[in-house]
Structure 1
Amino acid sequence: MDFIAGAIGGVCGVAVGYPLDTVKVKIQTEPKYTGIWHCVRDTYLRERVRGFYRGLLLPISTVSLVSSLSFGTYHNCLTRICRFRYGSADAKPARTDITLSGFASGLVRVFLTSPTEVAKVRLQTQTQTQMQAQMQQRRRSSASWPSAVPPMCPAPPASQVPGPKYRGPLHCLATVAREEGLRGLYKGSSALLLREGHSFATYFLSYSILSEWLTPAGHSQPDVLGVLLAGGCAGVLAWAVATPMDVIKTRLQVDGQGQQRYRGLLHCVVTSVREEGPRVLFKGLTLNCCRAFPVNMVVFVGYEAALRLTRGLFK
């Protein structure tokens, strides 16, 4: 039942938060953006509304499986811990039990989410990467002409302008696998492991604590408003913890589309901090938190509603 409820909650969350996720990725990978609204305005002017939904198909098609696995792993891990420590699966878990179960659910996600994240990030940043490559090509072409003699050849026809490298999520995955091998699909997975593990431990622990605080006297569970508030706050806290590794993960996954800059996780951290200062590790933090609140409100309301419905059907 937790697997089904988790799948429903995950799909609801992606539908709400994807446009802001696109903006977050662009801010983290492209230094030219001075803030959220600058990125939003530039994306809209260049790509219109479609630009905010690049790479959506793959997350939507896989998020139900990933979210189902995450919530299901958390619940089953917590059940086993309670049975082992207290002799009953229905015993009230300690906060340590919840933290360990949340950590485990985050680690399990990585094996499924890493290829999806690679495809999503590359599709989200494809336009800016292509434009940079075209600008470099123009500079090289102009530099090859003698300064005293201006080039007289006509501009190439529109049909010769290279199109996007990736035609869609599946084409992106196939291209990365062909050009970079299996390692390419798991680029940045070390940072993703660090991000998911402690962020999901924070996520489930904070939701459990807040739900307990917001449960009315004489009730065993919070009402809908309590679930909304607890879910939103849990999402904000989880992303506050996750953002530094999210920045590194994103940069590692985009790296290599041209010249490779980073040799690994530690080199990416050191290089990014040296070039842009410690604040670079918190790029997109405000946006992550703004996105996390409504997304996780929807996730937990969908999860709790689906859980109660399935429990009622299977009684």
Structure 2
Amino acid sequence: MPLPMYWNLVAGSIAGVSELLVMYPLDVAKTRLQLQTTTTGPDAYTSIGDVFRKIVRQEGPRALYRGILPPILVEAPKRAIKFSANDAYKRAFQEKFGIPSSTLLSIATGVSAGITEAFIVGPPELLKIKLQDKRNAGKYSGASDVVRQIVRAEGYLGLTRGLEATIWRHALWNGGYFGVIQSVRSALPEPETHQGALLKNFIAGTVGGIVGTTINTPTDVAKTRIQGAAFGETKYRSAWQSVALIAREEGPRALYKGYLPKVLRLGPGGGILLVVFDFLSGQIRKHLM
């Protein structure tokens, strides 16, 4: 039985914040690696471990959580939309087009939910990137100061910088994530215990997170470059223009900068997210509905 929107909000929020708090330093490492255009020089990062060492040594351990406030504030609507919109699109596609439950349906609903989700997370992602960027250390006093400076320099439309690339990123990730979850769940044997069900969900969510991350990393690199650009800079303008430019200037491998910390976060993170969400959903259905 689908959960009402408000219970999706509760379960999705707790699941999302749990994943975020555990995995956020990997997101900071991913952003730092995606923003750098060269791996030479004393300040360049060469690996995840090198990112962590240099951040802690040069900026202090708290910098590993720099920029976390905007993602936390948007986590509730983001996760509620991810799961409730996926359920809503699934029902709508089945009723309107008669599509049976299948991997194709899961991909279609995931892509649709991802597009919806992107409109919520676009501006907070911009604030997060600005705060995570080492070049901006000391430039902003916090998320609200980022907003003020963006609006002063570019107007309110400046808060939508990178939205198109964010839409591509979330559409591709959610399509891969929910599509693979359906396939993996079908392939795995039915669990006989509650612990087995949790393990099955963790495996499905982890594999889904890895596939979604592999598919969407080029557009994520493009989004990071667009949102990390200085005010008035127009080198990176759109998702696929940026993808082509990065591949031409830095080589195709540059489209997967930050892939390892990203997949380490969103692979197991996708498993954590699904396990916590399904567990809470089950408890809500059992005790509160």
TM-score, scaled relative to structure 2: 0.88
Structure 1 residue 275: deviation in Å? 2.0
Q: Report the equivalent of 1:194.
A: 168
The answer on whether the counterparts of 1:236 and 1:288 sit within 8 Å (CA) in structure 2 is no
The answer on whether the counterparts of 1:211 and 1:222 sit within 8 Å (CA) in structure 2 is no
- Give aligned pairs, total: 277
Q: Distance in 1 between matches of 2:191 and 2:46?
A: 47
The one-character-per-residue Cα deviations of 1:109-150 (angstroms, maximum 9, x if unpaired) are: 11111100000001000x3345xxxxxxxxxxxxxxxxxxxx
- 1:233-248 alignment, distance < 5 Å: 233-248=207-222
Structure 1 residue 291: deviation in Å? 1.5
Matched residue type, 1:75 = D
- Whose radius of gyration is greater, 1 or 2? 1
The answer on whether the counterparts of 1:207 and 1:230 sit within 8 Å (CA) in structure 2 is yes
Structure 1 residue 252: deviation in Å? 0.3
- 1:1-80 alignment, distance < 5 Å: 1=3, 2-30=8-36, 31=38, 32-80=44-92
Q: Distance in 2 between matches of 1:173 and 1:121?
A: 12
Matched residue type, 1:276 = E
Q: Distance in 2 between matches of 1:75 and 1:295?
A: 21
The answer on whether the counterparts of 1:115 and 1:173 sit within 8 Å (CA) in structure 2 is no
Q: Distance in 2 between matches of 1:85 and 1:219?
A: 36
Q: Report the equivalent of 1:144.
A: none
Q: Name structure 2 gaps, 5 residues minimum.
A: 39-43
Residues 211, 95 of structure 1: CA spacing in aligned structure 2 closer, same or farther, 3 A cutoff?
A: same
Q: Name structure 1 gaps, 5 residues minimum.
A: 131-163
- Which of 272, 277, 280 aligns to 1:303? It is 277
Structure 1 residue 268: deviation in Å? 2.5
- 1:1-315 alignment, distance < 5 Å: 1=3, 2-30=8-36, 31=38, 32-86=44-98, 93-125=101-133, 127-129=134-136, 164-216=138-190, 223-257=197-231, 259-315=233-289
Give the match's secondary structure for 2:140.
coil
TM-score, scaled relative to structure 1: 0.81
Residues 263, 201 of structure 1: CA spacing in aligned structure 2 closer, same or farther, 3 A cutoff?
A: closer
Give the match's secondary structure for 2:190.
coil
Structure 1 residue 26: deviation in Å? 0.3
Residues 219, 52 of structure 1: CA spacing in aligned structure 2 closer, same or farther, 3 A cutoff?
A: closer
Give the match's secondary structure for 1:209.
helix
Residues 232, 217 of structure 1: CA spacing in aligned structure 2 closer, same or farther, 3 A cutoff?
A: closer
The one-character-per-residue Cα deviations of 1:166-201 (angstroms, maximum 9, x if unpaired) are: 111122123212221233211111211111112211
Give the match's secondary structure for 1:223.
helix
The answer on whether the counterparts of 1:235 and 1:293 sit within 8 Å (CA) in structure 2 is yes
Structure 1 residue 263: deviation in Å? 4.2
Give identity over the alignment, percent: 28
